[in-house]
Structure 1
Amino acid sequence: MPNEVLIIGAGPTGLVLALWLTRQGVSVRIIDKTSEPGTTSRALALQARTLELYRQLDLTDPVIAGGHHVPAVNMWVEGQRAARLPFEDVGAGLTPYPFLHIFPQDQHERLLIERLEQAGIQVERNIELVDFADRPDSILARLRGPDGAEQDCEARYIVGCDGARSRVRNVIGSGFPGGTYRQLFYVADVNATGTAANGELHIDLDEADFLGVFPIDDKGRVRLIGTVRDERADQASDLEFGDVSNRAIQHLKLQVDEVNWFSTYHVHHRVTDHFRKGHAFLVGDAAHIHSPAGGQGMNTGIGDAINLAWKLASVLAGHAPDRLLDSYEAERIGFARRLVATTDRVFSFATAEGRVADLMRTRIAPVLLPLATRFEAVREYMFRTVSQIMVNYHDSPLSRGTAGHIRAGDRLPWIAAGGVDNYAPLKEIGWQVHVYGQAHAELAAWCTTHGVGLHVFAWQPEHEAAGFVRDALYLLRPDTYVALADTTAAPDSLQSYFAAHQITPASSAA
């Protein structure tokens, strides 16, 4: 069987999945029904957690070099800035990337495609999925090419990265419960000058029509995202930028010099019933969609892809049983549901109508926000949430144990102390053990025998402050989340963990 994984959809989520699988030796085929990659900026934000994970494929540095990091978010009321939340101050010490990073989707896709081509994988375009059948050990897909001719493609697994109208989701019959916001959204990429074109993120709280100004670079190119709720919303196809621009120009004092792109659309808030059925998986927008509040959508899809990639690679290599793949839904569906609920609450607050809602936004929120953000705990919670470094798998069947303040399922805390970055070893995709302090000889011998990387960090006060226990064992999964936390640091705990899940560390198997 030449294709182990057939990927439907070559947006950022599908491309990231293909890259992670290819790096782990999995043969992939990736198709897309469009004739070319996207040419508009669309999704913009890359969160800190995505940048951390991108280190595994040496993507972080080119992404940062090619984009723009946003140092702060500003709240505006009645034409005045009411509050400013500086990301760099809040996130310092929590992540190597204490900022919101802007990297437009068209640039993002070009980088991912270039990396795939360097690995010998071409995106096959003008090809769409017609149908597929799930067999006992594989899937058989029916594909239609640009000339209308159809062909069969067999693969062990199929992954739908094909967006909100996913054909894969339709074939497996997984529902997509949720709803559609009644507001009409508009998006405009413009060249502008003025206070709100200073390279930071700006949100106008004045009216029930949401308005956000997202910097694309520090040279005045910005993305406006807003809503329209009056009679203009019924004429979406006829709307032009001039029909919706007055608020941005008047409230945020923008001078728009050039409109590069303008479009309108409706937004849904939905999560599919199942992320897996048989040999088929749903990833990204095919599994969950929500409002653009917080810049979470693309990052969540990328997180899905990385979570699934190491599990598919392990099963395909014979290093784990098929049931490992069930943990993909168990870990990601709960997060998706919480995210949709959270973004829905934020968006509903920003767009609620009526005198009470207006009072909350224009009088109460501008007073409470600056007061609340004076507290370090509040600022840190907000940053952890938006940056996705708070995402955890505590309830996963793959998580076992607690050592100090670190629970299995946590993202490993980032510490750069004594001139040593504890994230440096995480560039390798594979199981590894971290010990902060000293490692027993028996533990070192077990790791050597089983091909599991052992990384020992000299104990520092910063390790204790982050919640580590001195000399404890922290087993990290290939996606860098803590799988096992054990204060005894006994090799028997590792042996028991892998035996219980019937996993052979990939690096130790020939």
Structure 2
Amino acid sequence: MCEVLIIGAGPTGLVLAIWLTKQKVKVRIIDKSAGPGDSSRAMAVQARTLELYEQVDLSEKAVNAGHRNPSINLWAKGVRRASLSFGDAGRDVTPYPFILVYPQDEHERLLIDQLTTLGIDVERETELIKMDDDGQKITAWLRLPDGREEMCETQFLAGCDGAGSTVRHQLGIGFPGGTYNKIFYVADVELTGLEPADEVHVALDSDDFVAVLAYGKSGKRRLIGTVRADKIMDNKPLTFEDVSHHALHNLKATVKSVNWFSTYRVHHRVAEQFSKGHVFLLGDAAHVHSPAGGQGMNTGLLDAINLAWKLAAVIRTHAPESLLESYELERLSFARKLVSTTDRMFSLMTKEGSVATQFKMHVLPLFASLIYSFGSTRSALFRIISQTMLEYHHSPLSKGDAGKIRGGDRLPWLAPEGYDNYAPLREMTWQIHILGTATKELVDWCEAHAIPLHNMAWKQEYADKGFAENAVYLIRPDTWIAMVDQQGRLSAITDYFTALGFERVALSSKLDK
């Protein structure tokens, strides 16, 4: 019997499999497709994802394979109205102050290779027929490539099987939301004439909308845009020639060749529940978004990393199953907020009409340039887009505060001050960080329980990042801050785990071999 059966081998399912396998959880991952996708809509890999990829040695590989887009340029009627630099905004926030453009199909192959090196292969042309959760185990019936059926028993099941999720349908979980009226297109093209060539360009013209993303070799671009209503004909497949090229012409861009083209409709939906019994929904099976801000795929990847350490804790270190309830509490509220935000952004960017046109062409770029000129606002906008602002303050796993930092916050990055406090986060385990002096009692306890303690000498500049001298910061295996105690007391840590229902403080899988 496997411990976690994963349905769906897109990026979310693959990341879940990698993180679980690294934490010694026995997984099985299946997908009904014959192979990984050969086209992609998801293009952006955000800074928070790259930070977490450090845990499995994927960050450098992804950055080297993708293309760093350091700025967004807003255009209207052939004039660049605003240029928003990520480097300036994110330099003190993260080691990755850019949007990485990395096509999903290439990204998937990187993840598959990583999973293969861990000894796990995706079982292709294999699909879930039905499942039964009796409260102790899940029995799943699978259809194999040769048409035979197989019964598989597992402790937990993860539905990473996309917007049309079989898992979600079988659970009877609603998927409320809507579909945008517009038809969108995505095209992989060879393009010249657009400068700066290595940056994101967004045309806000009145009659069509297009975003141009640089990636790969020189001249290679991904276009994401809307199809004008007068170009849509019943029962006639659209081609790139049917798309209005007015915005591209205004960008002074010339398309030399079209390597790939597809059209689609965009949905905005969030599942009513992200879990039921021992079954969980992740990624597009749980939430689908507009492409605004490049948030959708990254949100699914963070779903997987959030759930993985909790499943591993329950399976490997005998944490109470109530810990798993925090997955839905933390991720569902974020997904709802994100869908609402991206819905408003995307509706604004694609809205037609004279008033909307004047707003997009004149007011929006001016407003964007103005607010981006302020350092604090610029940093805040970058944090939102990069998902480095994501917090879990409302979670039952988040306790305490000291300085400007609360339980549930992402740990602020300190490398610009001379010490890389993110280096220890590469280990998927509970750990304690103290900037100042740790008590001997705490040092002895950490050693006895195999909990890494990272004790750095205090510098006054750490206060600028929100830290408090001598405070204890308990870090979760997914690198978010679980608990903060101003006084640095050992009792605050032991009380925290007692309140969560841990019967023994076996927080590291190293103790459970």
Q: TM-score when scaled to structure 2?
A: 0.97
Q: Deviations over 1:467-487 (max 9, x none)?
A: 000010000000000000001
Query: What is aligned with 1:231?
Result: 230
Distance 1:245 1:51 in 2: 35
Distance 1:9 1:155 in 2: 16
Query: What is aligned with 1:94?
Result: 93
Query: What is aligned with 1:213?
Result: 212
Q: Deviations over 1:78-122 (max 9, x none)?
A: 111000001001101110111111111122111111111111101
Distance 2:501 2:320 in 1: 7
Distance 1:371 1:277 in 2: 46
2:208–2:244 Cα contact (<8 Å) kept: no
Amino acid at match of 1:403: A
Gapped regions of structure 1 (runs ≥ 5): none
Query: What is aligned with 1:491?
Result: 490
Distance 1:369 1:502 in 2: 48
Q: SS of the counterpart of 1:327?
A: helix
2:208–2:247 Cα contact (<8 Å) kept: no
Q: Please state how far the C-alpha of 1:196 moved relative to its aligned partner.
A: 4.8
1:417–1:462 Cα contact (<8 Å) kept: no
Query: What is aligned with 2:372?
Result: 373
1:196–1:213 Cα contact (<8 Å) kept: no
Query: What is aligned with 2:245?
Result: 246
Q: Deviations over 1:350-403 (max 9, x none)?
A: 111222111111122232222221111221111000000000000000000001
Distance 2:124 2:217 in 1: 34
Say whether residues 1:142 and 2:108 are aligned partners: no
Q: Deviations over 1:208-261 (max 9, x none)?
A: 533111112361111111112413334475211011151243121111111111
Q: SS of the counterpart of 1:294?
A: helix
Q: Deviations over 1:438-463 (max 9, x none)?
A: 11111111111222110011212331
Distance 1:415 1:170 in 2: 45
Q: Please state how far the C-alpha of 1:52 moved relative to its aligned partner.
A: 0.3
2:317–2:506 Cα contact (<8 Å) kept: no
Q: Please state how far the C-alpha of 1:41 moved relative to its aligned partner.
A: 3.7
Amino acid at match of 2:297: M
Query: What is aligned with 1:349?
Result: 348
Distance 2:230 2:417 in 1: 62
Q: SS of the counterpart of 2:25?
A: coil
Say whether residues 1:116 and 2:115 are aligned partners: yes
Q: Residues 208, 345 of structure 1: CA spacing in aligned structure 2 closer, same or farther, 3 A cutoff? A: farther
Distance 2:245 2:304 in 1: 40
Q: Residues 452, 237 of structure 1: CA spacing in aligned structure 2 closer, same or farther, 3 A cutoff? A: farther
1:208–1:352 Cα contact (<8 Å) kept: no
Q: SS of the counterpart of 2:292?
A: coil
- When structure 1 is superposed on structure 2, of 212-221 and 439-448 the one drifting more is 212-221
Q: Deviations over 1:143-191 (max 9, x none)?
A: 1122222111110111000000000000101100000001001000101
Distance 1:249 1:49 in 2: 31
Query: What is aligned with 1:509?
Result: 511
CA RMSD of aligned residues (A): 1.3
Query: What is aligned with 1:304?
Result: 303
Matches within 5 A, 1:287-302: 287-302=286-301
- When structure 1 is superposed on structure 2, of 229-238 and 34-43 the one drifting more is 229-238
2:65–2:102 Cα contact (<8 Å) kept: yes
Q: SS of the counterpart of 2:63?
A: helix
Q: SS of the counterpart of 1:183?
A: strand
Q: Please state how far the C-alpha of 1:19 moved relative to its aligned partner.
A: 0.2
Matches within 5 A, 1:272-421: 272-416=271-415, 419-421=418-420
Distance 1:218 1:337 in 2: 37
Q: Please state how far the C-alpha of 1:63 moved relative to its aligned partner.
A: 0.7
Q: SS of the counterpart of 2:294?
A: coil
Q: SS of the counterpart of 1:304?
A: helix
Q: SS of the counterpart of 2:232?
A: helix
Distance 1:236 1:483 in 2: 54
Q: SS of the counterpart of 2:498?
A: helix
2:47–2:387 Cα contact (<8 Å) kept: yes
- When structure 1 is superposed on structure 2, of 143-152 and 4-13 the one drifting more is 143-152
Q: SS of the counterpart of 1:350?
A: helix
Q: SS of the counterpart of 2:359?
A: helix
Query: What is aligned with 2:75?
Result: 76
How many residues are aligned here?
509
1:236–1:264 Cα contact (<8 Å) kept: no
Matches within 5 A, 1:20-39: 20-39=19-38
2:73–2:199 Cα contact (<8 Å) kept: yes
1:199–1:218 Cα contact (<8 Å) kept: no
- When structure 1 is superposed on structure 2, of 160-169 and 434-443 the one drifting more is 434-443
Q: Residues 271, 88 of structure 1: CA spacing in aligned structure 2 closer, same or farther, 3 A cutoff? A: same
Amino acid at match of 2:489: A
Q: SS of the counterpart of 1:336?
A: helix
Q: Deviations over 1:272-323 (max 9, x none)?
A: 0000000110000000001000000110000000000000001112431111
Distance 2:162 2:233 in 1: 25
Query: What is aligned with 2:51?
Result: 52
1:188–1:223 Cα contact (<8 Å) kept: yes
Q: SS of the counterpart of 1:425?
A: helix
Q: TM-score when scaled to structure 1?
A: 0.98
Distance 2:416 2:301 in 1: 29
Say whether residues 1:441 and 2:440 are aligned partners: yes
Gapped regions of structure 2 (runs ≥ 5): none
Q: SS of the counterpart of 2:93?
A: coil
Amino acid at match of 1:442: E
- When structure 1 is superposed on structure 2, of 498-507 and 94-103 the one drifting more is 498-507
Distance 2:136 2:246 in 1: 57
Q: Residues 71, 409 of structure 1: CA spacing in aligned structure 2 closer, same or farther, 3 A cutoff? A: same
Distance 2:500 2:318 in 1: 10
Distance 1:197 1:35 in 2: 39
Query: What is aligned with 1:270?
Result: 269
Distance 1:73 1:452 in 2: 42
Q: SS of the counterpart of 1:31?
A: strand
- When structure 1 is superposed on structure 2, of 211-220 and 336-345 the one drifting more is 211-220
Q: SS of the counterpart of 1:398?
A: coil
Query: What is aligned with 1:176?
Result: 175
- When structure 1 is superposed on structure 2, of 251-260 and 425-434 the one drifting more is 251-260
Query: What is aligned with 1:201?
Result: 200
Q: Residues 208, 176 of structure 1: CA spacing in aligned structure 2 closer, same or farther, 3 A cutoff? A: farther
